[in-house]
Chains A and B, each alone.
Chain A
Amino acid sequence: MSSSDTLVATGNKAHSHGPGSPVPLQARSERPTSYDVADFAVPNGREEEWRFTPVRQLKALFEDAAGTETPKVDASGPEGVVFETVAADSLKVGKPQDRSAAVAWNHAGDAFAVRIPVEAELTEPVHVNVASLGARGFSHLIIESGRHSKAIVIIDHSGSGELGSNVEIVVGDGSDLRVVSIQQGDHESIHLGQHDAVVGRDAKLHHVAVTLGGKIVRIGTNVRYAGPGGDAELLGVYFAEGGQHHENRLFVDHEATNCKSNVLYKGALAGDHARSVWIGDVLIRAAAEGTDTFELNRNLVLTDGARADSVPNLEIETGEIEGAGHASATGRFDDEQLFYLQARGIPEDAARRLVVSGFFNDIIGKIGVPEVTEHLHEVIEEKLARAAELSTSAKAVIGQ
């Protein structure tokens, strides 16, 4: 599928993909946000922000009621990092953009905060583990990096059940913060999450969303800038298997001058009803002169029966920018690559692994956290082995 047949809701000066683009319904910046659940109707699946999502399976996370469990949160990190419990509304960097985020905001209770002290340069990553225990629960995390600090924070979401979560990220002026959020719940788990980051003056945020498990995982990542010179690198890796829905929605809101954003998301899909959705909204407001932004999404469809939707969307309100662009491509596994590698003696399964690891190679190289990249390689191998079993058993059935 091309990006043009799913392009949506662009602003007046947006660049569009030629004839056939829908008439703009609403600029991205005009979409309502609220802390009050009652401000959002229960989604029916026809709304712009829910039209790709299987909303009927999400009733529990739309219900304005307390959770039936509190997800277990534990954290560890090198000396100097501060862990504390704070009131949910102590920061208010994030503001829920949809009903599930508002439900999570109101029912998560206190927030768990990770603070990197001013000028601290951490040599080891901070780990925050959020484990769902099988029921319906909510979590709220806050990550703050102090001025001129440098740190890596890895959030690992695991377990079973239904999780609604909010993560607020404040990147202090001149600091360098790398946040890796891993979603790897059990195969029946559901996770709806919203991440909001504010990038300080001359600060650098690396945000990495890695989705490896869960029946439905939908992560919204919203970035804005508190001052000029901010830089956000937003990376994502996902691998949806049969029956899994992995969705990533990004919104980069450029209002400060001379800021950068670079979005790169790559996903593979294998198996019946494997589904991925990627929405990349970038807004360059009139004041955001000197903005430099690029977003790219690539999907590799490994088997029949899988589907990837990809919708890049750029609204530009000023011409005084360094650069703005986007690209999106979804391709099937290329049998000619397979033939080429096999013709050099490489067995089919190894050739497939080589092609897929090649596909992910550049983005995995950018993640920059060895323990995460090693884990990714391992999980991708496991998933490919399962995909190979699928295709072998499919062939066996055909051969009967």
Chain B
Amino acid sequence: MATLEIRDLHVSVDTENGPKQILRGVDLTIAGGQTHAIMGPNGSGKSTLAYSIAGHPKYNVTSGTVTLDGEDVLDMSVDERARAGLFLAMQYPVEVPGVSVANFLRTAKTAIDGEAPKLRTWVKDVNKALADLDMDADFGTRNVNEGFSGGEKKRHEIVQLELLNPKVAILDETDSGLDIDALRIVSEGVNRFAGQGDKGVLLITHYTRILRYIKPDFVHVFVDGRVAEEGGPELAEELEANGYERFLKAGAK
């Protein structure tokens, strides 16, 4: 069982006016088999948490720890974190001109597994993953995210999630900008991943809509760079009814 443990995490970014603190002591434990939803208003630091765990160079961890099964994640390079079993589905996937999806997926799979996938089963796996996310097989010949619609980019992220099959998946606003059909397709992909039983999911979202399709075991409300309140799925229902008003007032006191 994989366990991602985040302890007292403080993160800042450099700005023109010096460093700006964004995360102010985040504590979170995601055990295998659990789905956690992090919800919060804009600017509360949700995405910063996701990118800090993945190791984006823009974010400076000033204190705290992140471990995956006891291993120090913060000490690893971005690619080492991925090979250790972390996956970040990005809110704004990046275009890589001239690199085909097929080449990209095979290169990533080879890096993660430490050996090239078996050709025959791999082609079948890729085609199935694409089909499961309602993407044509010819996406394999297109350049990574180039000319993809917003929904295609998000579905492509989930194709990668299913093929690379990490220990813990962090989904950064994967639901934003999706129409209802795409939301359902993407959610089904996440549920297939989570349904393997031993996988951890950290679902970051602004809206409650996706929680109709993906059932979280735990809901954390994120305000001003830390977890303001935790609970079960009922907390999401309360947010659906009342919004973030209560937490923003509390944060502003």
Contacts and interface: CB of A to CB of B under 8 A. Distances in A.
A6 interface: no
A346 B79 contact: yes
Given A342-B78, A345-B108, A345-B111, A358 B93 contact: no
B107 A355 contact: no
A347 interface: yes
A374 interface: no
A345 B82 contact: yes
A63 B55 CA distance: 58
Nearest to A356: B98
Contacts of B61: none
Interface residues of A, number: 24
Contact of B82 (A336, A344, A355, A358): A344
Interface string B81-105: 1110001101001111111000110
A225 B78 CA distance: 54
B49 interface: no
A358 B160 contact: no
Contacts of A357: 98-99
A343 B108 CA distance: 9
Contact of A347 (B99, B104, B111, B143): B111
A362 B146 CA distance: 14
B9 interface: no
Interface of A: 334-337, 339-348, 350-351, 354-355, 357-362
B82 A340 contact: no
Interface string B27-47: 000000000000000000000
A340 B160 contact: no
19 contacts: A336-B94, A337-B94, A340-B90, A343-B78, A343-B82, A343-B90, A344-B108, A344-B164, A345-B83, A345-B111, A345-B164, A346-B79, A346-B111, A348-B78, A351-B79, A354-B99, A355-B99, A359-B97, A361-B97
Interface in B54-80: 54-57, 77-79
Contacts of A362: 98
Given A339-B57, A342-B79, 13 more contacts: A339-B78, A340-B90, A342-B78, A343-B82, A343-B90, A344-B79, A344-B82, A344-B112, A354-B103, A354-B104, A355-B96, A359-B98, A360-B98
A355 B143 CA distance: 11
Given A347-B79, A350-B107, A358-B143, A341 B96 contact: yes
B114 to A, nearest CB: 10
Which of B87, B94, B164 has the most chain A CB atoms inside 10 A of its CB?
B94
B57 A335 contact: yes
A342 B94 contact: no
Nearest to A354: B99
Contacts of A361: 97-99
A368 B82 CA distance: 37
